[in-house]
Structures are given as structure tokens and as C-alpha cells.
A and B are shown apart, each in its own frame.
Chain A
Amino acid sequence: METIHHSRWVKISHWVITVSFLLLAFTGFIILMCHPRLYWGEVGNDLTPALFELPISRNYQHGGWDASVPFFNTAGSQVSASRTYDIFNQNGWGRSLHFLSAWFLVITGVIYLFTGIFTGHFRKRMVPTREEFLFRALWRDVTSHIKQHFGYNPKYNVIQKYSYLIVIFVIMPLIALTGLTMSPAVSAGYPVLLKMFGGVQSARTLHFFASVALELFFVVHVIMIIRSGFKQQIKGMTFGK
């Protein structure tokens, strides 16, 4: 049976990105545990309302705050308050490991993108053909997925093509740019980033949603690898010719 052939540069970048992604997802979760509140706009902290909160560490709605002190003499003034509660915070190594993994992901990702464009990798393998652009073709592929017809196929199917394209050209750039927007030095150099995402906290929230999307993709990707012929797929992405 014909096995899918991947070039060596695809295999290497696939696994470097896999390891970086897993480390980023893990450290990202550790960082989120420290402040499991998400906001919209430029400002967001324990003394301002959250968009939503995640019950993922003892910091969740801990309520250990001194009485708040107003900054101004007006009604409804902005306030200051001090924490009386020892929060969970592993960001010392969490942040450093997150950024180290991000270096690997971004450098490998950029090389992968350029090589993919110049070798025609994306055009030949991922851009849907003329027939596949039709809604009918997409529908046929959706129904065959629902019926769980996961035979091994060396060519990518329509849903596979769309999901790879969305991950590579939408979610990955979005997660990198929202990540950079959270850097005070980068946003000072390129204030357009803050404008683009509507503030540092909006960027943080979008960064979170993008990571959830990637984690869902990862889970479905692994399930599909198993269902469609685990041995052949792994061989194709490792030592297979």
C-alpha cells in the first residue's frame, strides 16, 4: 500500500513544533493558573470586572484582599487594595520556559512557512482542488467523517486540508501576534499591535482562545492518526521513505 511521503524538512519541523507546542500548552496553563481571569481591553485585574473566570487553581475567586482605598475623592473612584492571600505563582520558570519554547516554535514555524511556500508544499498538498472547493465535496467529506470511514489515504481529504490551512495560516499567526502584543517592549515598538487586538487584555484573551483551538486540533489530530492507521501515519512522519 502506498504510504504518504513527507520531506525531511516537514518531518523535522513537525516534531520540533510538536514538542514546542506541548511545552507551550503546559506552561501556558501554569501561567493562566496564576491569574485565571480573562478580560477585554487594556486593563484587567482583581479589582476590575472579568469577562470570565476559570476555576483552575486556588487563586480562583480567592477573595483575600484588604479593604480597598480610593485613589480619588469622587464617588465610584478607582481603588487600590493589597492581597492578604498567598497565591499560586509558578511564573518564574513558567514564563521563561514558555518563551524558550516560543523561540523554537517561531523560528521553526517561519522556516516551515517559507520552505512550504517556495517548494509548493502548501499549494500541492493543502490548497483544495477546483472540485474540492464545491460545497458538495465538503459535505461528502463531512458525512464520510460522521460515518467514521477513516481509511488510510496518502492524500489529504477536504476537511484535513481546511483544518491544516486554518491552523497554519490563521491560528498560529494569531497566537504569535497576540503573544507579542503582551510584551511591553514589543508593543512600545509596534503600538499597532495594541490597536489591532484592542488592548493587552484582549490580546491575552484571544491568545487563550487560540490556544484552546490548537489544543482541540491536537486532540482530534491524534485521534485521526490512530483511527486512520497509526503505524503507517507515524512511519510516514518519522523514518518512512
Chain B
Amino acid sequence: MKRLPILTRRKAIITGLAGLGSLLLPGCSKPTPPTYGNILRMGDNLTYLAQRTLLPGQSLAKEYRFNDISSMPATGTTNPGIFNEEYSKLLQNGFADWQLVVEGKVSKSRSYSLKDLQKFPSRKQITKHCCEEGWSAIAEWTGVPLSAVLQNAGIKESARFINFHSYDGWIDSIDLYDAFHPQTILAYAMNGKDLPVPHGAPVRLRVEKQIGYKSMKYLQKIEVTDEFVDTGDSGWAWYTGI
């Protein structure tokens, strides 16, 4: 007896899953962060690919009114001057000698003083900081869009990741998608004043569509790369859109 081509439940589920997989494929052809053979990091990469694939374009994180500004704890490093002499000297001089180095896949390595960054058209945003610990706070941030600085430095077409080095020794990176997001800024002011030391003076990153720890404080150097720079498994997810 000839078998009729019936779409069984099992076939339907398998077809559905295969379809879901192919949806993720365009993401897979891009360089993705390593998993360290670790099932936790595989899960994080799945979240990264799924959010990049399924979420609508470059939507903006919610912005608030001035009256919504709240108290905000300063956590993590709150003064690198304690252990970093270089930072301590810059701080004593009011960051007049501070230079942000931009190097790697740019037409020419450059460095920007605080004054240079303040000459760029600025962006002011009142946004919510969501810490991985579970708390949130609203603050006003003023700075220069990272995209403006990258374009000024002549970012190359092959570039895929932006790596940040900070005075507290932290190194982390974001992909170009977040780097060119309009709300991703190099912030030099908070709530209308110079960025305070506990919150990352003189300049910190703001990545509004990821958890707080991606908004690195105390920026020192930006390195543009074609590929993911592996700094090892820090024990924390690289992508934290969730």
C-alpha cells in the first residue's frame, strides 16, 4: 500500500524547528563570541543571536523626563586612583591631560582630549541604568555618540567589534550594532555636571540596550577590530541584552 504524504505532528515540529534554526543562520555567519565549550556561554550566544535576529531594528531605549532622575549607587570600581597611579595623576590635573586613544581598524590611530570630545555635537539622554544585581536608576547623560567618534577616526568597512580598555583594568567589547546605536554615547557629564569619579570620570560608555556592566567607566582606549578579541571567560555573559 502506498503511504499517503500526511504531515504528522512530529514532521510538523521538526520542520518548525528547522525553520527556526534557519532563522538564526544569518547570525551564525558573523563572527560570534566563543563559548569556551561552556553550555552557559552557548546559552548566552543563543540569546545574542535570537535578540539580534528577532528584535525590531535600532529601536531606542525609553527616555525619561528630568523629574524622573533618581538616586544612583556607584558600584564596581569607584576610584581607580587608589591602585592606578596614572589615573590618580590625571585626576589631580582635572583630566586636562587625559587622552582617549582610538586605534585598530581605523584609517589612522588618533587620540581625543576631553575638550576634543566636547567639540562634537553632543547628545543628552535621560535613561534607565539596569544593573545585573537587580536594581535600576535613572540619570541624565551627556556625551558624544560613539558612532561620531568612530567615523571621525575613519572606521574601516571590515570592522566588526569595538573593544574598550579602562583605567580600572577592565576590558570589554560590543558589536557594531550596539556601537552605532544612536543612544550609545561616550558620556562626559551626568545630571548636568562633569561625570563624578565614582561614576566613571572623565568619560564612560553608555550602552542603553544592555545591562549596566557593559556601560564601562574610566575609559582609556578604544580598539576597533575585525574579529572578536577573546579576553577569556570572565564568568560573566559577554552579551547582556537580557
Taking A80-B73, A99-B43 as contacts, is the C-beta distance between A44 and B9 under 8 angstroms?
no
Report the 8 A-B pairs with minimum CB-CB distance, sorted nearest first: A100-B43, A185-B241, A35-B134, A47-B71, A45-B135, A96-B40, A92-B235, A183-B242
Residues of B within 8 A of A182 (CB): 130, 242
Q: Is the CB of B138 within 8 A of A42?
A: yes
Q: Is the CB of A189 within 8 A of B55?
A: yes
User: What is the distance, in angstroms, from A102's C-beta to the closest C-beta of chain B?
Assistant: 9
Q: Give the interface centre of B46, B133, B199 by most chain A CB atoms within 10 Å.
A: B133
Total of A-B residue pairs, C-beta within 8 Å: 158
Q: Is the CB of A115 within 8 A of B73?
A: no
Q: Is the CB of B198 within 8 A of A80?
A: yes
Q: Tell yes or no: B151 within 8 A of A by CB.
A: no
User: What is the distance, in angstroms, from A61's C-beta to the closest C-beta of chain B?
Assistant: 14
A 71-91 binary contact with B (CB < 8 Å = 1; else 0): 110000011111100010101
Q: Is the CB of A115 within 8 A of B9?
A: yes
Q: Is the CB of A80 within 8 A of B199?
A: yes
Partner of B208 from A68, A83, A97, A188 at Cβ < 8 Å: A188
Task: Write 9 A-B pairs (CB below 8 A) sorted by A numbering.
Answer: A43-B138, A78-B69, A78-B71, A81-B73, A91-B132, A93-B40, A115-B9, A185-B51, A190-B56
Partner of A187 from B41, B62, B72, B191 at Cβ < 8 Å: B62
User: What is the distance, in angstroms, from B223's C-beta to the closest C-beta of chain A?
Assistant: 24
B 47-68 binary contact with A (CB < 8 Å = 1; else 0): 1000100011001111010001
User: What is the distance, in angstroms, from B69's C-beta to the closest C-beta of chain A?
Assistant: 6
Taking A34-B133, A91-B132, A186-B242 as contacts, is the C-beta distance between A83 and B62 under 8 angstroms?
no
Please give me the residue from chain A that is nearest to B42 by CB atom. A100
What residues make up the interface of B, taking CB atoms closer than 8 Å to A? 9, 13, 39-44, 46-47, 51, 55-56, 59-62, 64, 68-75, 78, 128, 130-139, 190-191, 193, 196, 198-199, 208-211, 234-237, 241-242
Residues of A within 8 A of B134 (CB): 31-32, 34-35, 37, 204
- Give bound CA distance, A78 to B138, whole Å: 10
Residues of B within 8 A of A87 (CB): 133
What residues make up the interface of A, taking CB atoms closer than 8 Å to B? 9, 31-32, 34-35, 37, 42-48, 65, 68-69, 71-72, 78-83, 87, 89, 91-93, 95-97, 99-100, 103, 111, 115, 119, 182-191, 194, 200-201, 204
Residues of B within 8 A of A42 (CB): 64, 68, 128, 136, 138
Q: Give the interface centre of A34, A81, A119, A189 by most chain B CB atoms within 10 Å.
A: A189
User: What is the distance, in angstroms, from A129's C-beta to the closest C-beta of chain B?
Assistant: 26
Taking A43-B128, A72-B191, A78-B70 as contacts, is the C-beta distance between A89 and B133 under 8 angstroms?
yes
